[in-house]
Amino acid sequence: MILMDGKALAAKRKSELRAKVDKLPRKPGLAVILVGDDPASRTYVNGKRRDCGECGFYSEEYTLPAETAQAEILALIDELNGREDIDGILVQLPLPKGLDSRALLDAIRPDKDVDCFHPVNVGKLFSGQKGGFAPCTPAGVMDLLHEYGISPKGKHCVVLGRSNIVGKPMAALLLAEDGTVTVCHSATPDLARKCATADILVSAVGKAGLVTGDMVKEGAVVVDVAMNRNAEGKLCGDVVMEEVAEKAAYLTPVPGGVGPMTRAGLMDNTYRAACRHLNVSPD
C-alpha cells in the first residue's frame, strides 16, 4: 500500500507558487473574514495566514465578534469586492447562528470567490465551463490522484457525502475526468456493498470508523477527506486505517493527506484570481 503524501505535495505546490508570485507586478491578496470564536476556525484561519506568507501573498484578516450584524459583514464584503489589492475573499465557515451564510457567500464577487461557493462558479464547475475556480478540497484530491498517476477514467468512483463543500464538487471533478460516479449519503442503503465496488473511494462524511476493511475492494484507491477526533482526542478520518491498509493500493493519511492539499488549493485559486486581475497568464 502506498500512502499518498499530501503534506509533501502541498509544500511543493506552495514553493512553485512562491516562484511564480515573484514574477507578478504585485502580490496576490487574500482577505479572510472570521466571525465568532470557534477554535477550529481560528486554527484554520491561522493556517491560511501562514500559507499566504509562505507563498509570498499579501493577506488581511478580519476577526469580528459572533454578534456582528449581517449588514455589517455585507458592507465589509462590499468594500473588499471593490479593493484592487484584494484578489480573493474568504468567509470562514461555519458562521455563528443567526447569520445567513448563503447570502454572505453570494455577495462575494465571483472573480474573488476563491473558495468556489458562489453559484456562478458552482454553475461553471458543473457545466464544464472554464473561467471559474476549482473547489479547494476536491481540487486538492484530484491533484493528489494525478501526482500518483491515478486517473478516474473508466473507474468506478464512489463518493461518500454530498455536501456543497466536498461531496458534490468531488463528484463533478471525477465525472469531468471520465469516472463513473456514485454519490452516497445518509439515506443510501447498503453502503458497504456500494463501497466494495469502488476503484476509487472518497470518504467525506465526518464519522470515525465508518469505512472498514470489508468495505474496500482489493487494490482500491481510498481517499479520506474527513477530519474527526477519536475518543482520545486525536485527529482521524472516516477510514479505519489498519484494516483498509491491508486492502487498498493507495491511501491518504489523516492528518497529512487531503488537509494540506485543501490549503494549497486555496493558495492556487488566490494566485489565479490575481493573474486574472493583473491580466497575466497563470502558467
Active site residues: 48, 92, 115
Q: Which of 142, 205, 273, 275 binds ligand NAP (CB under 6 A)?
A: 205
Q: Which of 17, 89, 139, 184 binds ligand NAP (CB under 6 A)?
A: 184
Per-position b or e across 34-55, b if 16+ CB within 10 A of its CB: bbbebeebeebbeebbebbebb
Q: Give me the sign of the Cα torsion angle 223, 194, 134, 58.
A: negative
Question: Cβ distance 106 to 140 under 8 Å?
Answer: no
The amino acid at residue 255 is P
- Is residue 191 a contact point for ligand NAP (CB under 6 A)? yes
Q: Binding marks (x or -) toward ligand NAP, 30..69, rule CB under 6 A?
A: ----------------------------------------
Q: Which of 206, 213, 256, 282 binds ligand NAP (CB under 6 A)?
A: 206
Residue 21: strand, helix, or coil? helix
Residue 211: strand, helix, or coil? strand
Q: Among the residues of the chain, which ranges form H helices?
A: 6-21, 39-55, 70-82, 101-107, 119-127, 136-147, 167-176, 191-195, 241-244, 258-278
**How far is C-alpha 243 from the geometric centre of its chain's CA atoms?**
26
The amino acid at residue 129 is Q
As measured in angstroms, the least distance from the Cβ of 10 to ligand NAP is: 10
Q: Binding marks (x or -) toward ligand NAP, 216..235, rule CB under 6 A?
A: ---------xxxx-------
Q: Return the axis-axis angle of helices 6-21 and 39-55, rounded to nearest 10°.
A: 50
Question: Cβ distance 135 to 165 under 8 Å?
Answer: yes
Q: Which of 13, 14, 27, 162 binds ligand NAP (CB under 6 A)?
A: 162
Q: Which of 150, 165, 171, 221 binds ligand NAP (CB under 6 A)?
A: 165
Which cell numbers in the block locate residue 216? 474496500
Q: Which of 70, 101, 163, 212 binds ligand NAP (CB under 6 A)?
A: 163
Measured distance CA(48)–CA(198) in Å, rounded = 33
- Is residue 258 a contact point for ligand NAP (CB under 6 A)? yes
As measured in angstroms, the least distance from the Cβ of 88 to ligand NAP is: 17
* C-beta closer to ligand NAP: residue 6 or 76: 6
**Considering CB under 6 A, how many residues would be counted as binding ligand NAP?**
25
- Is residue 91 a contact point for ligand NAP (CB under 6 A)? no
Beta bridge partners of 183: 159
Which cell numbers in the block locate residue 274? 490575481
- Is residue 105 a contact point for ligand NAP (CB under 6 A)? no
As measured in angstroms, the least distance from the Cβ of 1 to ligand NAP is: 20
Q: 221: part of which helix (H) or strand (E)? A: strand 221-224
Q: Which of 15, 186, 197, 230 binds ligand NAP (CB under 6 A)?
A: 186
Q: Binding marks (x or -) toward ligand NAP, 126..155, rule CB under 6 A?
A: -----------x------------------
Q: Which residues are at the interface with ligand NAP (CB under 6 A)?
A: 137, 160-163, 165-167, 184-188, 191, 204-207, 225-228, 258-259, 262
